[in-house]
Structure formats: C-alpha cells, structure tokens
Amino acid sequence: MSTEKLLQVLESQIEALSTQIAPQANAPSQQARFDLNLFGNHGNRFRDYLQEVRKNMTQLKQVVAQSRTQQVAFLAEKLVAQISALQRELATQKLRKSNPEPRDTKMDPYHKLAEHQDYERRILVMIHDRESQLGKQSLLSEQQKIQKELAALEGRLMRCRQALIKIERSIERKENGF
C-alpha cells in the first residue's frame, strides 16, 4: 500500500473517530484517561485527545513530504496507537456507565489500600523480571522491546504509588475526623 493511501486511511479513521467522539467530546472525566507515554496531553476530555491526534496527523503529513522515513514510521505507529486507544476508551464508556463500581470497595479505604499495595508488589516483581531479562538479551531489538515494557511498567508503578498516597491520605483524614 502506498504512503498516500495509508495517509488517506488514517485521515478517514480520524474523521470516523471524530464523529464517534462528538456527543461526549466535552464531558470531563475524573482523571486523565491515558498514559503520558501515549498522549502528551494532561486533559480529561475526549476533545483534548482528538486535538492531539489531529496535530500528530498534520505532523505526519509534513514528515512524509520531507521523506524522513524514521519519523514517518514513528509518527504513524504512534498515531495508530492513539486512535486505537481512543476507540477502546469510547467502546468502554457504555460498560462503565452500566457497571458502576461496587459500593463496598468505594466505602472501604483499607480494602483499596491492601489492593493497591498488592498491585505495587506485583508491578515491582514484573520490573525486576524485565530488568533481569534485559541483561541477558544480546539483540538490540529485543533490548528495545524490553526497555519499552520497563518504561510502561515504571509508569504503572508511578500511578499506583500516587493512588496509594491518595488512599493513605484519605484514611488519615478519616481517622483524624476530617
């Protein structure tokens, strides 16, 4: 498939995505929806992410015109990942509305604390495993793959620790009567 044809396919996917997002483009969520490795955007509305996708598409067209193949490959891959992530997020919106979080876990911060401590422990184990695998790899492509996995795991660990701090503070406020 030619580069021009691929650009047209991406353009049509972005337009279809724009149509799907339109009814809920301005609806805010409680927190940022995506990992910062995927979107540089800190927004909490679909329109913020769609705007970044469109900006990346414009940038992709520019690097295609300049025949910068490495940047074309990187931007195209990132754009496809962003579009897929937005489509998955849109697909789960109805599920999230129809399956609200069980109240008992919302009410019990100690349960949430234990759950997040377990998440943290498991993520640390996965990081340790990937680091040991990284040292054993001789192929650059495999090393890069593991490094990407490590970066994603580090992001998960950071978010988990932020959630732990938030939960611990809410417990502390509850125990102090605030």
Residue 93 has pLDDT above 80, yes or no: no
| Fold held by 109-176 | Methane Monooxygenase Hydroxylase; Chain G, domain 1 (1.20.58)
Instruction: State the Cα–Cα distance between residues 145 and 130, nearest whole angstrom.
Output: 10
Does 109-176 match 3-98 at the fold level? no
101, 99, 98, 125: which is closest to 111 by C-alpha? 101
pLDDT of residue 166: 93
Residue with tokens 């769609």: 50
Residue 96 has pLDDT above 80, yes or no: no
Instruction: State the Cα–Cα distance between residues 69 and 25, nearest whole angstrom.
Output: 33
pLDDT of residue 154: 93
Residue 64 is encoded by which pair of tokens? 């295609």
Is 3-98 CATH 3.30.300.30? no
Sketch the domain layout of the chain as residue ranges. Answer: 3-98, 109-176
- Characterise 2 by phi-psi region: left (phi > 0), alpha (psi -120 to 50), beta (else): beta
pLDDT tens digits, residue range 18-76? 888 888 777 776 666 677 778 887 777 888 888 899 999 999 999 999 988 888 888 88
Residue with tokens 């909490």: 44
3-state class (DSSP) for residue 167: helix
CA distances from residue 25 to 90, 96, 153, 170 in whole angstroms, order as listed: 10, 17, 29, 31
pLDDT tens digits, residue range 133-165? 988 888 888 899 999 999 999 999 999 999 999
Structure-derived torsion over alpha carbons of residues 18, 19, 24, 27, reported in degrees to the nearest 10: 20
3-state class (DSSP) for residue 60: helix
